[in-house]
Amino acid sequence: MGKLIAVLPGDGIGPEIVEQALRVLHKVEEAFETKFDYEEALIGGVAFDETGHPLPPETLSLCKRADAILFGAVGGPKWDQIQPPTLRPELGALLPLRKELGLFANLRPARLYPALAGSSALKSDLVGGGLDILVVRELIGGIYFGEPKGRTDNGTRAVDTCVYTQGEIERIARVGFEAARKRSKRLCSVDKANVLETSRLWREMVTRIGSEYPDVELTHILVDNCAMQLVRNPAQFDVIVTENLFGDILSDEASMLTGSLGMLPSASLGTGTFGLYEPIHGSAPDIAGQNKANPLATILSAAMMLRHSFAMEDAAKCVESAVEMALAKGARTADIASGGEEIVGTKVMGDIVIREMN
Ligand code: IPM
Ligand code: MG
């Protein structure tokens, strides 16, 4: 039996970009003489429309049986007003999926490909030397999940609670240190320790775990300063480890340094090799179904799957260098064009990457 991949295309551009990632995986099967099994399931708004729930039980049980999940995107204006909000695609599907599967570590590499230096939101003297930042985001704790949460006083008062335990901080800190060890041996921990109690516990724990990694240089930075430094001098960062909400915000910021949200993959991991792989961008309903979306973030997410879930480092590199070659040869979807280049659609971008895998 081959590895089982749960395929969850979701809403908006999800199906189009997942289709291209699947074509790339088929090419990997051929080139590396292996076979994967695929099972597709409903998630998000389309699942709500069809079954009344954005995360149907069959989808969750498929995910629990699978070795890895390839995820497109969920949500869109059509489902923004669903009541209660816990049935909306984001709150009712994506967050519970992460939580139920114990996917506490979210890896978001923000890499600027040399060919795209012109599309970075920053001036080329700041990014000319390239950029390669890894955001390690805690994914199933903090203010996203803390209780109590909700409205009181006849709806006139709202509460969200930020909670972290030592154990939750320790396990994500270890992911950060291990990642730093494999890269430049520098880890920057981001918190708001001047204000938040959870951040003081965060800093204390990260420092304590750091004593087990004497080869990694640990620094701490406040989140507001980090947001500023990312645009002032992004090259100073290598691995960043941070809590759920800060990681959400900083990873979107980091992505713009690299040119486009459409380029950035992610892996959400637990303790074993199982993982959920998704582009960090959303469902882009405005361009859905038009063959305009950039499939590269999803293709690069599939490469992360090959690396982390299937231990196929060579195949992962093959996909990543094919993406790099495609860009170097000038292939551009609309979101990464900086003017003058010929713009290709979603499918043709997939064709070009697959051709470069030869
Ligand atoms: C992300 C997204 C999600 C998050 C939303 C869609 C719930 O922004 O994956 O970064 O906040 O985690
Ligand atoms: Mg986000």
Nearest atom, ligand 1, residue 244 CA: 12
Question: Token match 């999800």: residue?
Answer: 14
Determine the residue type at 40: E
Domain around 65: 1-105+264-358
Last residue of a domain, one of 240, 257, 274: 257
CA geometry: angle at 285 spanning 280 and 287, to 5°?
95
pLDDT (tens digit per residue) in 301-321: 999 999 999 999 999 999 999
Q: How far apart are CA 103 and CA 99, in angstroms?
A: 6
Helix (H/G/I), strand (E/B), else coil: 134: strand
39 vs 348: CA distance, rounded Å:
25
Q: Is the pTM of this model over 0.75?
A: yes
Domain for residue 212, yes or no?
Answer: yes
Q: Please report whether residue 178 resides in a domain.
A: yes
Q: What is the pLDDT of residues 60-83, one digit of tens each?
A: 999 999 999 999 999 999 999 999
Does pLDDT of 84 surpass 80?
A: yes
Tell me what pLDDT residue 117 has.
Answer: 82
Give distance in angstroms: CA of 50 to centre of ligand 1.
23
Q: Distance between CA 41 and CA 19 in Å, rounded?
A: 14
Query: Do 252 and 280 reside in the same domain of the chain?
Result: no
* Residue 111 covered by a domain: no
Residue to mutate (ligand 1; options 11, 94, 138, 139; most atoms within 8 A of CB): 94
- Is residue 77 situated within a structural domain? yes
pLDDT per residue over 269-280, tens digit each?
A: 999 999 999 999
Residues 306 and 358 in one domain: yes
pLDDT-derived band at 129, boundaries 50, 70, 90: confident
Ligand 1 center from residue 259 Cα (angstroms): 19
Q: Which residues are catalytic?
A: 144, 192, 224, 248, 252
Last residue of a domain, one of 257, 288, 310: 257
Confidence of residue 338 (pLDDT cuts 50, 70, 90): confident
Q: How far is the CA of 248 from the centre of ligand 1 (A)?
A: 6
Is pLDDT at 151 greater than 90 in this prediction? yes
CATH number at residue 48: 3.40.718.10
Does residue 97 share a domain with residue 6?
Answer: yes
Inside any domain, residue 57: yes
Rounded Cα distance between 284 and 107, Å, is 22
pLDDT at residue 246 in the model: 98
Q: Say whether both 95 and 146 belong to one domain.
A: no
Ligand 2 centroid to residue 265 C-alpha, Å: 12
Mean pLDDT taken over the chain = 96
What 3-state DSSP class applies to 221? strand
Q: Is residue 58 part of a domain?
A: yes
Residue 169, sorted as left (phi over 0), alpha (psi -120 to 50) or beta, turns out to be: alpha
**Do 128 and 234 share a structural domain?**
yes
247 with 276, same domain: the answer is: no
Among 248, 250, 251, 280, the mutation site with the greatest number of ligand 1 atoms within 8 A of its Cβ is 248
Give the H/E segment covering residue 346: helix 346-356
Q: Whose CA is nearest to atom 6 of ligand 1?
A: 90
Cα–ligand 2 centroid distance for 351 (angstroms)? 29
12 Cβ contact partners less than 8 Å away, ≥ 6 residues apart: 73, 75, 76, 282, 283, 284, 285, 288
Q: Residue 8: inside a domain, yes or no? A: yes
- Surface-to-core class of residue 222, CB atoms within 10 Å of its CB (0-12 exposed, 13-18 middle, 19+ buried): middle
Is 177 in the same domain as 99?
no
Predicted confidence at residue 220, as pLDDT, reads 98
CA gap 279, 255 in Å, rounded: 11
Instruction: Report the range of poorest mean pLDDT among 9-18, 118-127, 234-243.
Output: 118-127
**Which residues line the pocket of ligand 1, CB cutoff 6 A?**
90, 94-95, 248, 280
Identify whether residues 188 and 313 lie together within a single domain: no
Nearest-CA residue for atom 5 of ligand 1: 90
Whole-Å CA distances, 357 to 3, 33, 297: 21, 14, 17
Q: Are residues 94 and 7 in the same domain?
A: yes
Same domain for 165 and 215: yes
User: Is residue 115 domain-resident?
Assistant: no
Per the structure, how many domains does the chain have? 2
- Structure tokens, 152: 């009181």
**223 plus 284 within the same structural domain:** no
Nearest atom of ligand 1 to the alpha carbon of 74: 6
Same domain, 81 and 156: no
Work out the average pLDDT over 100-125.
89
Task: Work out the number of other CB atoms within 10 angstroms of the CB of residue 274.
Answer: 19
Residues with CB under 5 A from ligand 2 (ion): 248
Query: Last residue of a domain, which of 209, 241, 257?
Result: 257
Mind listing the pLDDT tens digit for each residue in 180-211? Answer: 999 999 999 999 999 999 999 999 999 999 99
Backbone angles phi, psi at 4, to 5 degrees: -95, 120
Q: What is the pLDDT of residue 130?
A: 80
pLDDT digits (tens, 9 = 90+) for 21-55: 999 999 999 999 999 999 999 999 999 999 999 99
